[in-house]
Amino acid sequence: MDARTKILVVDDDEVVRLSHLRSLAGARYNVEAVWNGTEALQAMEQEPFDVILLDLRMPGMDGIAVLKAIKDRWPESEVVVITGYPSLETVREALRLGAHDYLAKPVGPDELIKAANSALTRKKWALHRVRTEH
């Protein structure tokens, strides 16, 4: 993908953040990482990201609240939820709120890159549709 594509990793686990950063940087993405929801929203205020890889269980603001805030303020950004505590309830809630995908940890580099690519493809098609409708 294009080097201008911006991905934000949001996870309170440093090992997970570093692993995701390494995997996505190797796929030539512009990647940043933050450790909680408040920092994620602050980063989005600076310059919205194309894709957000979002953990659900974090100190302070949980992932569902962050997802809701992102989709309210930056609906064109795609969110992939990645959690170590998957449940049918959170899958339904995340998808209802507009998450593009929902993955259970551990997520390997190939699966991570595939999810990011899929989210970017969806974003590009949505932007294309908006441009051609006007």
> 101-115, pLDDT tens digit by residue?
999 999 999 999 999
Q: Looking at residue 61, which CATH number applies to its domain?
A: 3.40.50.2300
What is the model's pLDDT at position 1?
47
CA distance 10 to 65: 13
Range of the domain at 68: 6-133
Identify whether 36 is part of a domain. Answer: yes
What is the model's pLDDT at position 3?
52
What is the model's pLDDT at position 103?
98
Identify whether 28 is part of a domain. Answer: yes
What is the model's pLDDT at position 126?
75
Identify whether 1 is part of a domain. Answer: no
What's the total number of domains in the chain?
1
Low-confidence ranges of the chain (pLDDT < 70): 1-3, 127-131, 133-134
What is the model's pLDDT at position 26?
86
Tokens for 87, please give them: 């449940």
Identify whether 47 is part of a domain. Answer: yes
CA distance 101 to 78: 9
Of the candidates 12, 2, 29, 35, the residue with the CA atom closest to the CA atom of residue 112: 29
DSSP string, the chain: --TT-EEEEE-S-HHHHHHHHHHHHHTT-EEEEESSHHHHHHHHHHS--SEEEE-S--SSS-HHHHHHHHHHH-TTSEEEEEESS--HHHHHHHHHTT-SEEEESP--HHHHHHHHHHHHHHHHHHHHHHHHH-
Q: Which residues contact 121 (CB under 8 A, 6 or more apart)?
A: none
Of the candidates 61, 53, 13, 9, the residue with the CA atom closest to the CA atom of residue 34: 9
What is the model's pLDDT at position 125?
84
CA distance 60 to 37: 7
